[in-house]
Amino acid sequence: MKRFDIVEHTADTGIIAYGTDMQEAFANAAYGMFSLMADLRQVREETSRYVEAEASDRESLAVSWLNELLYLFDVERIIFSRFEILELTDTRLKADVHGEKVDASRHKLRGGVKAATYHTLKVAENRERCRVRVIFDV
C-alpha cells in the first residue's frame, strides 16, 4: 500500500494518507506533509523528539499532531522522516519522531507548509484501510 497521494487544491495543497490501521495512517500523514517540504530520502535519523497531542475528536487530533510537528520544524529547524506512533486514541496521540536539523547543503527545501487546516479534513477507516485527508496552508 502506498503511503499517501497528493491532493491539489486551489491555492493550497494536501494529502490523503493511508494505513492498514489508524496509527500507520497518522504516521503516513506526517510523512506526506514533510515530503511536500523536502526529499526525505536525504534526511538522517540523528535526533528524535517525543511528541504528544490532544484534541476533542480524531479529526482535530490529526490537525493538532501535524501542527505540533510543524511547530518543531519552525522552532528547532528539524525535519522529520520517521514517525513511530506509540499510543493513539480518538483524542490523544503519543509518538517518537526521528530526523535531523535542516542542512542546507543536503536538504533542498521545497515549498513551506504553514499549517494543517480543517478544510475538507476527513479521518476515516473501514476493514481494508484507514485514511487521513488534510489540506495544508502553504
Instruction: Indicate the domain borders of the chain.
Output: 4-137
Strand blocks (E) in 1-138: 4-8, 13-19, 47-54, 78-88, 92-101, 115-116, 122-125, 130-137
Pick from 38-42, 82-86, 91-95: least confident: 38-42
pTM over 0.85: yes
Q: Name beta bridge partners: 99.
A: 47, 80
pLDDT tens profile 33-61: 999 999 999 999 999 999 999 999 999 99
Task: Please provide the average confidence, as pLDDT, over all residues in the chain.
Answer: 95
Give the three-state DSSP class for 66: helix
Q: Whole-angstrom Cα distance, residue 110 to residue 130?
A: 28
pLDDT tier at 1, thresholds 50, 70, 90: confident
pLDDT of 127 higher than 90: no
CATH for the stretch 4-137: 3.55.10.10
Please state, in angstroms and as integers, the Cα–Cα distance from residue 76 to each residue in 47, 68, 69, 102, 117, following that order. Answer: 11, 12, 10, 9, 22
Q: How confident is the model at residue 110 (pLDDT cuts 50, 70, 90)?
A: confident
Alpha carbon of residue 24 to chain centroid: 11
In the predicted structure, residue 9 carries a pLDDT above the cut 80:
no
Amino acid at 103: D
* Range in 18-27, 45-54, 56-65, 102-111 with the lowest mean pLDDT: 102-111
Residue-wise pLDDT for 71-83, tens only, equals: 999 999 999 999 9
Q: Is the pLDDT of residue 96 over 90?
A: yes
Question: Strand (E) positions, 13-69?
Answer: 13-19, 47-54
Judge whether residue 108 has pLDDT over 90.
no
